[in-house]
């Protein structure tokens, strides 16, 4: 487990804050009737099990980098910077454009980042954005770099089995982004925690397509290129491991759940999130969600939801915000921050 500096530790704040947020959701809306028909379930069944009403799907000619670049551009616009100001671009994704080069390289080039700008991908599946956020914070705090662009982006529609009701109904496509830069006194990222639980890695996986089991006609025939998930196992993991870890993390940072102004969790499943918030003692009104309209967008779900909260005016300067990611690996990423007021436009890009 990796832990970054906490508010209680008394160490000097690294002085890194979120200066702008952005998101991009494909324009094509897919309702429950459409995904339910292939999966053999009804709209009522999907709503009862997940709380999801719709999700977005990328067009055939759209790649993860397209959504990521649009989200990044919106975040830079909100922060008042350009690609030339960036020292670092990190894209968290488990659905990259291709195995090589990094999707972040494509995004950095498309956004006009300079030739010396470091760009790389992070794959911690649905926890990836928080992993990337903590990584970028450390890089900025330990260098003379001024600005970093951190993006979570996934196109899960490309790896779903339409007939698998455990997965096909849950996931949508999208991207969310933040710009990190200098924090004002008393604002910015306060604490972070990253953890992995490799013994439970088979709860969520795409079996084929890598070096252990390369894609072949046989793997395609067996459907091994599809995303698979043990839903009950994931729920048990969140209850037994994630919830206690979040409680301990908040306490060690010197706060209580009741002091949180905003809770932005990974949008895994509406019913799961309701149980998690209730178990933590976080009031429902403080928990931000977007799963109803966008489903589970993987690494994009936290930054998409954070951007929605920022653009709605819900976040005020000095508010205490908890980001909590969890998913394949299994992995968990947590980040606690004091919100630094930004001036986003109400517009969310669509492709």
DSSP letter string, 314-345: ---TT-EEEEEEEETTTEEEEEEEE-------
Q: What is the pLDDT of residue 145?
A: 79
Q: What is the pLDDT of residue 341?
A: 86
Dist CA 273 CA 266 (whole Å)? 8
Rounded to an integer, what is the distance from CA 168 to the centroid of its chain?
A: 19
Q: Is 126 a residue of the active site?
A: yes
3-state DSSP call for residue 193? Answer: strand
Q: What is the pLDDT of residue 343?
A: 63
Q: What is the pLDDT of residue 264?
A: 98
Which helix (H) or strand (E) segment holds residue 116: the answer is: none
Dist CA 303 CA 297 (whole Å)? 10
Catalytic residue among 32, 134, 269, 296: 296
Beta-bridged to residue 334, according to DSSP, are 193, 324
3-state DSSP call for residue 216? Answer: coil
For 197-232, write each residue's pLDDT tens digit.
Answer: 999 999 999 999 999 999 999 999 999 999 999 999
3-state DSSP call for residue 305? Answer: helix
Q: pLDDT 10s digit of each residue in the chain, 351 long?
A: 555 543 433 344 459 999 999 999 999 999 999 999 999 999 999 999 999 999 999 999 999 999 999 999 999 999 999 999 999 999 999 999 999 999 999 999 999 999 999 999 999 999 999 999 999 999 999 888 789 999 999 999 999 999 999 999 999 999 999 999 999 999 999 999 999 999 999 999 999 999 999 999 999 999 999 999 999 999 999 999 999 999 999 999 999 999 999 999 999 999 999 999 999 999 889 999 999 999 999 999 999 999 999 999 999 999 999 999 999 999 999 999 999 987 655 555 666
| Boundaries of domain holding 334 | 1-7+14-351
Question: Which CATH number belongs to the domain containing residue 25 in this structure?
Answer: 3.40.47.10
Q: What is the pLDDT of residue 11?
A: 40
Q: Residue 346 to residues 52, 77, 151, 227: CA-CA distances in angstroms?
A: 23, 12, 19, 34
CB 125 within 8 A of CB 300: no
First-to-last C-alpha distance (Å) of the chain: 38
Structurally, the chain folds into a number of domains equal to 1
Tokens 């599946």 found at: 125
Q: Is 262 a residue of the active site?
A: no
Catalytic residue among 32, 262, 266, 288: 266
Q: What is the pLDDT of residue 345?
A: 56
Strand spans (E) along the chain = 2-3, 16-24, 28-31, 54-57, 86-92, 118-122, 147-155, 173-182, 188-196, 204-205, 228-229, 262-265, 320-327, 331-338
Catalytic residue among 24, 32, 123, 126: 126
For 260-297, write each residue's pLDDT tens digit.
Answer: 999 999 999 999 999 999 999 998 899 999 999 999 99
Q: Is 24 a residue of the active site?
A: no
pTM across the whole model: 0.93
Dist CA 205 CA 186 (whole Å)? 40
Tokens 């966008």 found at: 294
3-state DSSP call for residue 107? Answer: helix
């Amino acid at each position: 487990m990796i832990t970054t500096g906490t508010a209680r530790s008394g160490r000097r704040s690294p002085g890194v804050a979120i200066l702008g947020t952005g998101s991009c959701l494909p324009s094509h809306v897919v309702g429950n009737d459409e995904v339910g028909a292939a999966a053999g379930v009804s709209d009522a069944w999907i709503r009862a099990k997940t709380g999801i009403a719709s999700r977005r799907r990328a067009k055939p000619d759209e790649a993860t980098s397209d959504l990521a670049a649009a989200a990044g551009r919106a975040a830079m616009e909100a922060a008042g910077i350009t690609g030339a100001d960036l020292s670092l671009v990190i894209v968290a994704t488990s659905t990259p454009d291709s195995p090589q080069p990094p999707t972040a390289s494509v995004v950095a080039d498309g956004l006009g980042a300079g030739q010396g700008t470091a760009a790389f991908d992070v794959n911690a599946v649905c926890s990836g954005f928080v992993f990337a956020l903590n990584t970028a914070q450390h890089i900025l705090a330990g260098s003379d770099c001024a600005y970093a662009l951190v993006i979570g982006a996934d196109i899960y529609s490309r790896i779903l089995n339409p007939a698998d009701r455990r997965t096909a109904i849950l996931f949508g496509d999208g991207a969310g982004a933040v710009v990190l830069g200098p924090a004002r006194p008393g604002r910015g990222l306060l604490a972070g925690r990253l953890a992995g639980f490799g013994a439970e890695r088979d709860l969520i996986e795409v079996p084929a397509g890598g070096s252990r089991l390369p894609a072949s006609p046989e793997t395609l025939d067996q459907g091994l290129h599809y995303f698979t998930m043990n839903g009950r196992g994931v729920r048990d993991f969140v209850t037994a491991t994630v919830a206690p870890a979040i409680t301990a993390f908040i306490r060690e940072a010197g706060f209580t759940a009741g002091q949180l102004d905003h809770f932005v969790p990974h949008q895994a499943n509406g019913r799961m999130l309701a149980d998690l918030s209730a178990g933590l003692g976080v009031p429902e009104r403080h928990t931000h969600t977007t799963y109803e309209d966008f489903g589970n967008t993987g690494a994009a779900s936290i930054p998409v939801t954070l951007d929605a909260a920022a653009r709605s005016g819900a976040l005020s300067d000095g508010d205490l915000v908890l980001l909590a990611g969890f998913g394949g690996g299994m992995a968990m990423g947590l980040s606690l921050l004091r919100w630094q007021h930004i001036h986003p436009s109400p517009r969310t890009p669509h492709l």
